[in-house]
Amino acid sequence: MNEVILDYVNMTLRDKLKTIRKERNLSLKKLAIMSGISYNTLIAIERRRRCDINPQLETVVKIAGFYKLTLDQLIEGTTFKE
């Protein structure tokens, strides 16, 4: 497996979502507008450090769909670039 892919496997979901967003040159505001997910929700997902705060599955599914990724790709860390 490619070492970049291995790095993604070891990342938290929060880190993965932030990395994907940055790879696609999206600000949080632009992502919120384009995906229909509230800006506050996206900030909470990316910036909160407490482990007991997890996004709802519905939100993760919506984000994965926006990026045209399956949940497996998102969670297991296959390549994120289009």
For 25-64, give the DSSP string: T--HHHHHHHH---HHHHHHHHH---TT----HHHHHHHH
Which CATH superfamily hosts domain 3-76? lambda repressor-like DNA-binding domains (1.10.260.40)
27: left (phi over 0), alpha (psi -120 to 50) or beta: beta
Q: What is the pLDDT of residue 21?
A: 93
Most confident of 4-13, 18-27, 69-78: 18-27
pTM as predicted: 0.71
63 exposed, middle or buried (CB, 10 Å; 0-12, 13-18, 19+)?
buried
At 36 the pLDDT is 94
pLDDT tens-digit readout, 22-76: 999 999 999 999 999 999 989 888 887 554 456 788 888 999 999 999 988 887 7
Dmax (CA) of the chain: 35
What are the structural domain ranges in the chain?
Answer: 3-76
